[in-house]
Amino acid sequence: MLIAAGSADAALAFIEIGALILGLAVLSRAAGRFGLPAIPLYLLAGLALGEGGVLQLDVSLEFFEIAAEIGVLLLLFALGLEYSESELREGLRTGTKPGLLDMALNATPGVVLGLILGWDPLAAVLLGGVTWISSSGVISKVLSDLGRLGFRETPAVLNLLVIEDLAMAVYLPVVAALIVGGSATATAVSVAVALAAVSLILLAALRHGRRFSDLVAGGSDETFLLTVFGITLLVAGVAQRLEVSGAIGAFLVGLALSGKTEIRANQLISPLRHLFAATFFLFFSFQIDPADIVGVALPAIGLAVVTVVTKLFTGWYAAGRVGAAPRGRLRAGTVLMARGEFSIVIAALGASLADGPELGALAAGYVLITAIVGPLAAKFSDQIPLPARLQRRRVVPAPAET
């Protein structure tokens, strides 16, 4: 359609899109240099360039709008994809307690702040989601960059991410149905439908995931990529039509894939996801007026301070359960602090609410802080002094004499 619109328009669109994406590349490189995630930089770029900012997009706005939507779908598809059935089962078995503590400690501050700000309860619940879920993308990257995958506390951290993932499988469809709203009965019906669909798919994925995966699998990389991408968009579109929210549709497709197919889908989709998700972060803060961010700066900072401490405690508790010493428990707590892609996705879900713009601005400011503080705290956690009574060494079993 762009090409058909005349070569002058097409040329302008290419220049705009190319320049913006190249700009994102520069930011991503800069972030990598400092060992930080790129998300906060993308958000800052969007703020600087977008509404009320310095740049006005002309012809490529439409492209970025749709690319950002696809970015959300692929992020949620990847969230559904991330863990295999056995990992989910194992997570449920061992991680329920830390998971519940995680929710109670980290969702509550967001909900409370939303209510204090006089928001609609639904917007407050969304803010609770924003503060609840840690960024699995940022955290797994930090763990692997710092070479901490083998550390004793790491399974506790990863299991917590699995539980959050599972919790999102319930949370997202319910809030999405509530946002669509309508009469009380209509809302109740759509919540019930969403929950039923999720439990059905989860059950099917746990029991018969292999069969669905086998159906999709096979063929060349090209065939497979087109199949998975096509199914994801198609299901998301149908879900949107049925007023369930397209993002949930994509999430469910990810959940239903398992085994080898899942690993392959992850490898093939991840370049696409990088491209579209970066666009999404940019476009999300594009729509935020920088003046709004200044307005919510205080609540965002306060919320970040409180939830950084609550996450620290969550990680401390979870790592203690797997037998980590205080040093390791501190590392687990700090690495979990980062919020990222899913907090932004949750805030984007609420964009249509009356408090949506404020929610978006607050979430952007909040993620900006935690996505920078979290990885830095994780990096320097071994330098944080511990109270003397916690510094005792654990007894290591003496080597057997031979």
Residues that bind another protein (CB under 8 A): 82-83, 87, 90-91, 136, 140, 147-155, 158-159, 161-162, 263, 267, 324-325, 327-328, 331, 382, 393-394, 396-400, 402
Cβ proximity to another protein, 56 vs 402, nearer residue: 402
CB of 308 to another protein, least distance (A): 22
CB of 351 to another protein, least distance (A): 29
Whole-number Å distance between alpha carbons of 101 and 314:
7
Cβ proximity to another protein, 328 vs 360, nearer residue: 328
Q: What's CA 125's distance to the chain center, in Å?
A: 16
Query: Which of 383, 376, 382 lies closest to 40 in space, CA to CA?
Result: 376
Cβ proximity to another protein, 20 vs 139, nearer residue: 139
CB of 263 to another protein, least distance (A): 6
* Cβ neighbours of residue 298 closer than 8 Å, sequence gap 6 or more: none
Cβ proximity to another protein, 154 vs 279, nearer residue: 154
Cβ proximity to another protein, 190 vs 381, nearer residue: 381
Q: What are phi and psi of 219, to 5 degrees?
A: 80, 180
CB of 29 to another protein, least distance (A): 22
**Tokens in use for 322?**
């797997």
Listing DSSP states for 287-330 in one string gives TS-HHHHHHHHHHHHHHHHHHHHHHHHHHHHHHHHTT--HHHHH
CB of 160 to another protein, least distance (A): 10
Cβ proximity to another protein, 96 vs 267, nearer residue: 267
Amino acid at 312: L
Cβ proximity to another protein, 33 vs 393, nearer residue: 393
**Segment holding 286, helix H or strand E:** helix 259-286
Whole-number Å distance between alpha carbons of 360 and 350:
8
Cβ proximity to another protein, 365 vs 374, nearer residue: 374
SS3 117: coil
Count of C-beta atoms within a 10 Å radius of residue 326: 17
CB of 6 to another protein, least distance (A): 46
CB of 400 to another protein, least distance (A): 7
Cβ proximity to another protein, 146 vs 197, nearer residue: 146
CB of 186 to another protein, least distance (A): 37
How many Cα neighbours within 13 Å face the side chain of 124? Answer: 13
How many Cα neighbours within 13 Å face the side chain of 181? Answer: 9
**Tokens in use for 232?**
């994801």
CB of 187 to another protein, least distance (A): 34
Buried-state track 143-159, b at ≥16 Cβ within 10 A, e below 16: beebebeebbbbbbbbb
Whole-number Å distance between alpha carbons of 320 and 315:
8
